[in-house]
Structure 1
Amino acid sequence: MAALYLKFLIPGLFAYGILQCILRFLQTQTVIMPLVVCSLVPLLAHVLITYLLVHVFGLGFVGTSISGSVSLWISCLMLAGYVKYAKDFNHTWEGLSMEAFEHVLPSMKLAVPSAIMVCFEYWAFEILVLLAGLMPNSELSTSLIAMCVNTEAITYMITYGFSAAVSTRVSNEIGAGNIQRAKNAVSVTLKLSVFLAATVIILLAFFHDLWASLFSNSQDIITAFAHMTPFLATSILFDSAQGVLSGVSRGCGWQHLAAWTNLVAFYFIGMPLALLFGFKLGFYGKGLWMGLICGLVCQSATLLIITLRIKWTKTSLTTQDEEHEHHEHPVSSV
């Protein structure tokens, strides 16, 4: 069943890849409202398509994966059409050309470490769900950890927006030589992210039973989620902070440092501690999440140190020098 579900998600991956490129193209030019519109329309279409495929055409869970792929393509085509036909981009988009392939390798030097740093973190959360399935009461543990992972993911969507914004803003300001503005953007974004995380934590503290009931009607799972809420709140706080700091690392071109940070924080510290707390010390689901929190704390602290230790002026000059050399010797970078 899982293989069948994933099979119909594959077409959406191609749309998602193109969509992310268009999003970055628009974000660097501070184009916001078209992004909102082109996200809202596919969202509404997604609800309608999902209902039709699942309930009217009777495709069941397969219908949800098909609707996901269709919605991604709708969003992708809407934004692509906007870029092509809007007059605002006459000077920034001249169409595809062979010249673009000269920049593939320089782009890959940033893209690969960025992908690795994201994968290391996301996989750590998914591994927790797999580990929960090895526990004595596997059904309860797996449901509980899956609920926590989904809650964390939903909360992270807010942080993801801040992360993309600060990454774009920092890279633009550093490229323009406005070092102080880049630092101010980091400070403001980090404070906003932590503030919104605190708001989510307060809501969870008062309405955790209501939230858990959206995932399951089992009283045992709802009660277990209530006991897990303090740990979940802690992870949300640190995850919000590291999300912004990761965006800063991408904006400054420090993806390789962030990738190493995520590798060590989650797989040399977080996961071993999760195994220790969850299985050896008998904390089970709470133990797994405690290990994750330790990884998030190490990750956030390291990224904060990297951010504070960055020599912004040197970074700016280095970036400008590399771009200057690339324009003078385009063949040498391929």
Structure 2
Amino acid sequence: MESPLNVEGANGCRPEGTNGRCWKKVMDLAEAKTQIMFAVPMVLSNVFYFSITTVSVMFAGHLGEVELAGSTLANSWATVTGFAFMTGLSGALETLCGQGFGAKMYKMLRIYLQASCIISFFFSIIISVLWSFTEPILVLLHQDPEISRAAAVYIKYLIPGLFAYGFLQNILRFLQTQSIVIPLVVFSVVPLGIHFGIVYSLVNKTSLGYKGAPMAASVSIWISFLLLALYVRFANKFQNTWTGFSFESFRYIIRKSKLALPSAAMIW
């Protein structure tokens, strides 16, 4: 007599599985919930930080068609050549700080963070030089000369924000590897709210006009970085992972660069 056909799948689930028993075998719902609770604050904080430069473009765009085109082009150029690269450079901290925190080598987290900030500062200088030649580069890429000129003016005042953005991304990775994500939402939405007031004042209430939009973005990004830096400095939860600056971080610059550059290249 033939044995009954085995209709169980590789995971032991029958098609007629009831009450979600099959799904429970396929997916760990508790783990999925944990991952979602960890990911959503990170997504929101990144959206809020990204919105700072977007809001500046919106205010600049209300000044005229050339201003709208110039600020949009400048923001795209800055994102591709600068902000995205800075995000990639900080990616190595996810590996290094994650390993250090997991191994309870807490003092290494601050050393890796400082080394990463030094690397970000160095590359910010290089990118700033590149941004100084924005107009001829864009014209060479067959962009409209008038719009290229407006983009060059806009990106000139974004340069200070580039340095702050590099530091900001490093601190974000430093916090994320310690599973600290909820405060990131607060510390990202506050600068965005402040930014509306700053950009409105500089663009509409001063003689800066168009220049005020990127200047406001730079100021707001610096505020974002300083708020997180103060949080790390004074919150008790970081008493083991942040104990001040150390010259030892210079010894890890090369090691950090070997991970940071490939990480930046993948995003770039």
Task: Flag whether TM exceeds 0.5 (same fold).
Answer: yes
Q: Does 1:281 align with 2:206?
A: yes
Match of 1:296 among 193, 211, 221: 221
Q: Which residue of 1 aligns with 2:51?
A: 123
Counterpart-to-counterpart distance in 1, 2:42 and 2:143 = 39
Counterpart-to-counterpart distance in 2, 1:164 and 1:100 = 28
Distance 1:214 1:299, change over 3 A: farther
Residue 98 of structure 1, CA deviation? 3.0
Query: Could you give the per-residue CA deviations for residues 256-297 of structure 1, whole angstroms, max 9, x where no partner exists?
Result: 222211111122x21211011112224232111122112111
Q: Which residue of 2 aligns with 1:250?
A: 176
Aligned pair count? 217
Match of 1:220 among 127, 140, 146: 146
Q: Does 1:165 align with 2:118?
A: no
Query: Could you give the per-residue CA deviations for residues 159-218 of structure 1, whole angstroms, max 9, x where no partner exists?
Result: 11222221332122112101122221111111111111111112222x222233256633
Per the alignment, in what secondary structure is the counterpart of residue 105 of structure 1? Answer: helix
Q: Which residue of 1 aligns with 2:106?
A: 179
Query: Could you give the per-residue CA deviations for residues 18-75 of structure 1, whole angstroms, max 9, x where no partner exists?
Result: xxxxxxxxxxxxxxxxxxxxxxxxxxxxxxxxxxxxxxxxxxxxxxxxxxxxxxxxxx
Identity percentage over the alignment?
15
Distance 1:216 1:143, change over 3 A: farther
Distance 1:274 1:215, change over 3 A: farther
Greater fraction helix = 1
Q: Which residue of 2 aligns with 1:139?
A: 65
**Higher alpha-carbon Rg:** 2
Q: Does 1:203 align with 2:126?
A: no
Q: Unaligned stretches of 5+ in structure 2?
A: 1-23, 242-268
Does the aligned pair in 1 maintain the 2:67–2:210 contact within 8 Å? yes
Counterpart-to-counterpart distance in 1, 2:234 and 2:108 = 17
Query: Could you give the per-residue CA deviations for residues 300-334 of structure 1, whole angstroms, max 9, x where no partner exists?
Result: 1112222334544667xxxxxxxxxxxxxxxxxxx
Query: Could you give the per-residue CA deviations for residues 209-231 of structure 1, whole angstroms, max 9, x where no partner exists?
Result: 22332566333223333433431
Distance 1:284 1:215, change over 3 A: farther
Q: Does 1:308 align with 2:236?
A: no
Q: Unaligned stretches of 5+ in structure 1?
A: 1-95, 316-334
Does the aligned pair in 2 maintain the 1:144–1:285 contact within 8 Å? no
Q: Does 1:270 align with 2:201?
A: no
Q: Does 1:109 align with 2:6?
A: no
State the TM-score, normalized to the length of structure 2: 0.72
Amino acid at match of 2:230: I
Query: Could you give the per-residue CA deviations for residues 95-151 of structure 1, whole angstroms, max 9, x where no partner exists?
Result: x9535332122222211111110011122222333333322xx21111121122112
Does the aligned pair in 2 maintain the 1:166–1:247 contact within 8 Å? yes
Amino acid at match of 1:152: A
Amino acid at match of 1:117: S
Counterpart-to-counterpart distance in 2, 1:127 and 1:314 = 37
Query: Could you give the per-residue CA deviations for residues 231-257 of structure 1, whole angstroms, max 9, x where no partner exists?
Result: 121121111111111221212222222
Does the aligned pair in 2 maintain the 1:120–1:266 contact within 8 Å? yes
Amino acid at match of 2:208: F
RMSD: 2.4
Amino acid at match of 2:198: L
Does the aligned pair in 2 maintain the 1:216–1:222 contact within 8 Å? no
Amino acid at match of 1:151: W
